[in-house]
Chains A and B, each alone.
Chain A
Amino acid sequence: MRSSKTTQNSANKIRVLLLTAIAVVISFFLLSYAALDIFRDELTPEMEKKGRALAESINDLVLKSVNYGVPFDRLRGMGEYLDTLNVKNPEILYIGVSDNKGKELYKSDEASAAATTKIKTTSKAPQILPSSKAEMIVTTFDISKDGQKLGTIKLGMDGKYFEKMVDKILLDIVTVGLVSLLVAFELLSFIISCYITSPMRTLYAYFDRIKNKDFSFSLVSSTKDEAGNAFAAANTLVDKINLKYLELRSRLSAASGDPEKLAPLRDKFSGIESQYQFATGTAKIHQPEKLVEYIKWPFFLLIFSDALSISFFPHFVNSLYQPLFGLSREVIMGLPISVFMLVWALSLPWAGAWSDRVGRRKAFLYGALITGIGLFLSGTAQTLIDLMIWRSLTAIGYAIVFITSQAYINENTKPEQRTQGMAVFLSGFFAGSLCGAAIGGILADRIGYSQTLFVSGFIALIAAFFAHKFVIDGDLSLVAKKTKAKASDYFRLLTNRHFFFVTFFSAIPAKIALTGFLYFCVPLFMKMLGGDQSSTGRGMMAYGLVIVFFAPYIASHASSLGSRKLFMVIGGLLTSISLFILHFNPNIGAVILAVAMLGLAHAIGLSPQFPVISDLCADECKSLGVGTVMGIFRMIERIGNVSGPILAAVLIAALGFEGTFMWLGWISLFAVVVLAIHLFILSRRPVASEGSP
């Protein structure tokens, strides 16, 4: 029954997603079609005015020459002049001047023969003949001297101009549509969990309790929907039994009949009391089933909000540039990203402990509020110092939310479901990142950097609202007390060569590529190549998109130590290839390819890192605990997050972008070669005991 319910849930998710897709696609199409009509109505007169201005300019020039005595049919350089006009006004496909008999005397070279044959209509008076069907809208103007017509100027405007105008934002519209569907999908998982899956599971768990003869609990539902009604019906039924029990108990204790007859009855009643548990006072609360999706939606929203600024953040920093500590402009531009990463990394241990203490709901709520305020204040920053302070505040909030979400998922999944739980966490993270990067670029192009950051802040507040309303706290006393890693633990792990090589030659280079290349170089380089914020956002979206699609597949194939080692090496190689691509082929297409390849490299190479460590450092994991080893690994790899932007900035200042890509590529390649030598040549002998006494 339960498995059929799961299938039914999946089928219904697909149905709801299809429903949303139909609504989004059809409405987007209709809106774009209507916009095309509106544009045509409103811009045609403007095109006409522009055509008139051009024609008057040509007319003035022709008359000036004719007045100097140059014959109308022998104006030298007229073709070149018309060419210049054609180049400056790409929406004009054809410019021609003919004599009063209609013979074409001059035309721009740009107006090719093909274009000439496309002329559908001509008119005698200056007139626009708008038609979406015509490939060229032709306007004619008379050239007259002293009331006598000398000839005609013909301007052929691109009949598809309006369509091309709508096409210009087609990619943006498609991006908005895709992001809407992704958001709808995330929302769907959340809603189905809240309103269907969780109540259903709660009800079944309650039935299970009754099966175990425990009537001392009652269900709580804040909703007045179908699920709420079912809860109420179950409560009424159980209440009736409890009431009957209480009534009987008081009657038995007050009964005054024959004691010999009453005694067996009381024994029988005691038998029932020992068999069943009834509610003697207020019934205890049967806790609703908590699902990881409860936190996934607010987490997705929060990541979405922060990622809105990814595609333009270095440009925003640049707009606030001021000389600081004698550092180069590039280094200063990388500084706020590094400061964010540093504060985030340093806040994580504290944030985790605080979250354990106050509970997940409160921690997420405050974390999201702090992030929202930080993002909002970042938008108001007037100086670089302001910005770094507000980014640090954002990083604290972000760290709280990040660690709280992970902890919530850990607490609400059984050990065998933990991998699946982490997949939910990662899919929320990457889906939020890619949606945020894409929409952030589009918004920044239209409303500006600061305003986009205000929108980010607002979305973070929405995440706080959802967390406040839906995240359910568990029993805080059950939260496992974590032991703090000691300096000796760090020392012990760092002296284990497997831990050292995986951390310093795989994890840190991967993080350098992430923050140094993706977050810092890509926005700057895309702009240098002439890309706008929207295309930068779309380009950066490729990273998350590739991870979302490939990571689950890779995870399912990295089952043995050998395959994990191989994946780490392949990931490192792909990282260096993605950087070399840009060194040899610096264009926008190559940037998107490089970003997608980095996504693939990380999808392949990141997830096996810790499993390899836990396999190769089994003794350390046993004696220090897997949690501690993982904590130390995560802490050290953040050196890469912090140093990435600074390293990239220093390289850009010294070598320019192409040199930077080459050097980052060499660094990655060097790291992966050393790692491969270590993993496949030097570590063929088992060294499990290394580092242990």
Chain B
Amino acid sequence: MNEGAYKFGRMTRRMAPMFIVVFCFSLLLNAFLDYSNFKRNHTEIERSRFAVVINDLQDTVEYALNLGVAIQDFSQLQQMIENTQKRYPEIDQISVIDTSGNSIYDTNKLQISKKTGKKWLQKALAAKELWHDAEDGNHVIGVPVVNSINIVSATLVISYSQKNLNTKLEAVRNGLAKVALGLMAFFSIFIYFGLKWINKRYEKDFQCMTEIMTEGEKMDTAQPATPPDTLLKAFLADSSKAYSSLEEIEVELAGIEGKSK
């Protein structure tokens, strides 16, 4: 036989990685679906929570507007938004913006009377109902405040931190990664041994052929084992026949050469 002793199971070793890659890829895709599902749901729960908060503020302000109080004169509003911020530590900032984009009331007092430079301003001014956006690592939720004749007087905006979401996402990512890696390891071994079991017959077929052909190299007239295949049998018989024909001439030649010496 050629260099390199016979190694059983090499066929499986070549086949298994491809299946394992496909399997791992589908498992990762599944984990990714779970992860993005969690992200979507968490974002929605958090958003709906702050929607409750902003709707409460909206009701209060609209109630005051309906009583005839101008938004600029609603002095308790500053206190109200500051209290709300204290109640919900995730809230970074609450602003009340007039129709030209200037902050009338703001938990960040430095911002009062200044024009908001945020990208969501256009969206906020155009909105007719609850809207949301994200900017500078924060989630933003806003709602227009309308007076009794249905004209938008201002926009309430709550900006809350994504830190909570990011922490949770990290936990979910780690949790899913651990499970997915564990499953990948276990099922990769399962696939490997499963394939090995399935391939055993093929590998044995090839092994048997190899052994018979290796034996056949001795070119004995009587074959060492009965080949399992007619074509292999014919191959061995033909090879052996050709070899013995050559050998016959060789013997005769040796005889002639010996006599002449």
- Residues in A lying within 8 Å of B, measured CB to CB: 1, 8, 12, 15-16, 19-20, 22-24, 26-28, 30-32, 34-35, 38-39, 42-43, 46-47, 49-50, 53-54, 56-57, 60, 85, 88-89, 91, 165-166, 168-169, 172-173, 176-177, 179-180, 183-184, 187-188, 191, 195-196, 199-200, 203-204, 206-208, 210-211, 213, 215, 223-230, 232-238, 240-241, 244-245, 248, 251-252, 255-258, 261-262, 265, 268-269, 272, 276, 439, 442, 446
Cβ contact of B250, chosen from A165, A244, A258, A446, cutoff 8 A: A244
Question: Given the known A-B contacts A213-B238, A232-B1, are A226 and B217 also in contact in the complex, defined by CB atoms under 8 Å?
Answer: no
Asked whether, in the complex, the Cβ of B38 is within 8 Å of the Cβ of A42, the reply is yes
Chain A residue numbers with a CB within 8 Å of B8 are 226
Asked whether, in the complex, the Cβ of A28 is within 8 Å of the Cβ of B30, the reply is yes
Asked whether, in the complex, the Cβ of A240 is within 8 Å of the Cβ of B52, the reply is no
Q: How far is the CA of A276 from the CA of B180 in the complex (A)?
A: 61
Contact with A along B34-62 (1 / 0, CB 8 A): 10111001100110111111011000000
What's the minimum C-beta distance from A83 to chain B, rounded to whole angstroms? 15
Asked whether, in the complex, the Cβ of B10 is within 8 Å of the Cβ of A225, the reply is yes
Looking at chain A's contact residues, the main secondary structure is helix
Asked whether, in the complex, the Cβ of B243 is within 8 Å of the Cβ of A240, the reply is yes
Residue of B nearest to A261 (CB): B256
Asked whether, in the complex, the Cβ of B42 is within 8 Å of the Cβ of A207, the reply is no
Chain A residue numbers with a CB within 8 Å of B179 are 30-31, 34-35
Judged by a CB distance under 8 angstroms, whether B156 is at the interface is: no
Query: A12-B198, A276-B242 given. 6 additional CB < 8 A pairs?
Result: A31-B27, A39-B41, A42-B38, A226-B10, A244-B250, A265-B249
Judged by a CB distance under 8 angstroms, whether B149 is at the interface is: no
Asked whether, in the complex, the Cβ of A180 is within 8 Å of the Cβ of B23, the reply is yes
Question: Given the known A-B contacts A47-B45, A240-B217, are A248 and B10 also in contact in the complex, defined by CB atoms under 8 Å?
Answer: no
Q: How far is the CA of A393 from the CA of B156 in the complex (A)?
A: 49
The segment from B98-106, B135-143, B202-210 found at the interface with A is: B202-210
Q: List 16 A-B contacts (CB under 8 A).
A: A20-B23, A34-B175, A34-B176, A88-B48, A176-B26, A176-B30, A183-B22, A187-B18, A196-B202, A234-B235, A236-B2, A237-B239, A244-B247, A255-B257, A256-B260, A262-B256
Chain B residue numbers with a CB within 8 Å of A191 are 15, 18-19
Q: How far is the CA of A85 from the CA of B246 in the complex (A)?
A: 99
Question: Given the known A-B contacts A53-B49, A169-B34, A176-B33, are A211 and B238 also in contact in the complex, defined by CB atoms under 8 Å?
Answer: yes
Judged by a CB distance under 8 angstroms, whether B213 is at the interface is: yes
Asked whether, in the complex, the Cβ of A233 is within 8 Å of the Cβ of B2, the reply is yes
Q: How far is the CA of A257 from the CA of B261 in the complex (A)?
A: 8
Asked whether, in the complex, the Cβ of A236 is within 8 Å of the Cβ of B1, the reply is yes
Which of B2, B201, B207 is packed against the most chain A CB atoms within 10 Å?
Answer: B2
Judged by a CB distance under 8 angstroms, whether B253 is at the interface is: yes
Question: Given the known A-B contacts A23-B187, A46-B42, A272-B246, are A211 and B234 also in contact in the complex, defined by CB atoms under 8 Å?
Answer: yes
Chain A residue numbers with a CB within 8 Å of B41 are 39, 43, 165
Judged by a CB distance under 8 angstroms, whether B225 is at the interface is: no
Cβ contact of B46, chosen from A23, A46, A233, A439, cutoff 8 A: A46
Contact with A along B191-229 (1 / 0, CB 8 A): 100110011011101110110011011010000000001
Asked whether, in the complex, the Cβ of A8 is within 8 Å of the Cβ of B231, the reply is no
Chain A residue numbers with a CB within 8 Å of B30 are 28, 31-32, 173, 176-177
Contact with A along B151-193 (1 / 0, CB 8 A): 0000000000000000010011001100110011001001100
